């Protein structure tokens, strides 16, 4: 009974993960084709490719840094290409990203990073600092010290910008009016700089982002049993581009739980049997000692009686 009681939370967690599946499938995320039609340029999906960690950029404080600065530990990275003076699209991308991050139970700077690079080489450090200041002010956990290291905004020169854009599959072109045509979306990169996920359009569901960060970190940022179950049971559907529960993973988990319960029950029965035998042996030994004491007392009594008669 105690074993079954301890297993109830695990069972409930499995059921909870399974119940989330329809919700994950129902999330509306624009396809790459939809975004291409809107903008005339595209993401070239370079899943599995690596960002050039030796590429150099200037951060919002005027310091020259390489991308390697953000890929030196176990934190995955949410990456966005924007241009800071974009009149419409880029501000909306950053606004929607901010809303998504505010729904996560992961902390920027502790569990993941946000890295933003302008693809307009004419933009300046003051542009980057202004946009960063506004973005961080909207983050609902910006009062936590670790979050200060969670956001990095940059400018760059044409060579390094193109080097990074080609690596992650981001196309852009300058228009005659000075604005840019570019894809709409975000990327998630692993702690080693590998592209693991693309988000297209303006919709970044917090649940999808959480799963993407878990996936990129190979589950290392999981904070609970529920997170680990989500990471184990969800996989990206290559057709829809969203995470769905994998029946085979659920079956594996169920089989492991059944084995755990079975071995636990067998172990419990064996222990109980050992305790029963031990108690039985102790009881029999006690009875034997009692019988011996009774016999000795009887013999002593008979001996005393015989001496009295003599």
Q: Is residue 289 part of a domain?
A: no
The number of domains in the chain is 1
Nearest to 172 by CA among 38, 50, 81: 81
Q: Does residue 202 surpass a pLDDT of 80? A: yes
Lowest mean pLDDT among 87-96, 180-189, 224-233, 290-299: 224-233
Percent of the chain clearing pLDDT 70 (strictly above): 62
Residue located via tokens 């290291």: 149
Domain, as residue range, for 122: 2-252
Across the range 128-140, mean pLDDT stands at: 97
Q: Is residue 201 part of a domain?
A: yes
Q: Does residue 185 surpass a pLDDT of 90? A: yes
Residue 168 is part of a domain; what is its CATH number? 3.40.30.10
Across the range 169-181, mean pLDDT stands at: 92
Q: Is residue 241 part of a domain?
A: yes
Q: Does residue 228 surpass a pLDDT of 60? A: no
Q: Is residue 274 part of a domain?
A: no
Q: Is residue 296 part of a domain?
A: no
pLDDT band at 292 (very low <50, low <70, confident <90, very high): low
Most confident range, picked from 183-197, 231-245, 247-261, 262-276: 183-197
Rounded mean pLDDT of the chain? 78
Q: Rounded CA gap, 219 and 221, in Å?
A: 6
Q: Is residue 258 part of a domain?
A: no
Cβ contacts of 248 within 8 Å, gap of 6 or more: none
Contact 250, 18 (CB under 8 A): yes
Residue 15: what pLDDT?
43
The pTM is what?
0.66
Contact 185, 198 (CB under 8 A): yes
Q: Is residue 58 part of a domain?
A: yes
Q: Rounded CA gap, 167 and 242, in Å?
A: 23
Residue 304: what pLDDT?
52
Contact 195, 46 (CB under 8 A): yes
Cα atoms found within 13 Å of the Cα of residue 126, Cβ hemisphere only:
0
Q: Rounded CA gap, 309 and 305, in Å?
A: 6
Q: Does residue 139 surpass a pLDDT of 80? A: yes
Residue 273: what pLDDT?
77
pLDDT tens, 53-85?
Answer: 999 999 999 999 999 999 999 999 999 999 999
Residue 21: what pLDDT?
41
Q: Does residue 306 surpass a pLDDT of 90? A: no
Q: Is residue 295 part of a domain?
A: no
């Amino acid at each position: 009974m105690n074993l079954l009681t301890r297993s109830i939370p695990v069972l409930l967690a499995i059921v909870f993960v399974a119940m989330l599946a329809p919700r994950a499938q129902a999330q509306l995320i624009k396809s790459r084709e939809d975004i291409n039609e809107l903008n005339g340029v595209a993401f070239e999906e370079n899943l599995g490719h690596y960002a050039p960690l030796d590429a150099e950029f200037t951060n919002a404080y005027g310091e020259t840094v390489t991308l390697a600065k953000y890929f030196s530990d176990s934190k995955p990275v949410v990456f966005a290409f924007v241009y800071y003076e974009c009149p419409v699209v880029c501000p909306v991308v950053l606004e929607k990203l901010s809303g998504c991050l505010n729904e996560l139970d992961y902390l920027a700077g502790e569990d993941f990073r946000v890295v933003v690079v302008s693809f307009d080489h004419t933009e300046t450090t003051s542009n980057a600092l202004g946009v960063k200041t506004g973005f961080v002010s909207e983050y609902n956990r910006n009062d936590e010290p670790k979050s200060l290291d969670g956001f990095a905004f940059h400018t760059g020169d044409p060579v390094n910008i193109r080097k990074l854009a080609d690596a992650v599959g981001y196309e852009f072109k300058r228009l005659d009016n000075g604005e840019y045509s570019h894809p709409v979306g975000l990327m998630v990169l692993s702690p080693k700089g590998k592209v693991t996920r693309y988000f297209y359009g303006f919709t970044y569901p917090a649940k999808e982002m959480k799963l993407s960060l878990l996936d990129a970190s190979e589950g290392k940022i999981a904070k609970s049993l529920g997170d680990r179950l989500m990471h184990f049971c969800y996989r990206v559907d290559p057709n829809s581009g969203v995470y769905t529960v994998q029946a085979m993973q659920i079956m594996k988990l169920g089989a492991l739980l059944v084995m755990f319960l079975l071995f636990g029950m067998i172990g419990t029965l064996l222990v109980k049997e050992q305790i029963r035998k031990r108690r039985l042996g102790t009881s029999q030994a006690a009875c034997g000692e009692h019988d011996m004491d009774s016999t000795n007392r009887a013999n002593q009594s008979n001996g005393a009686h015989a001496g009295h008669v003599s």
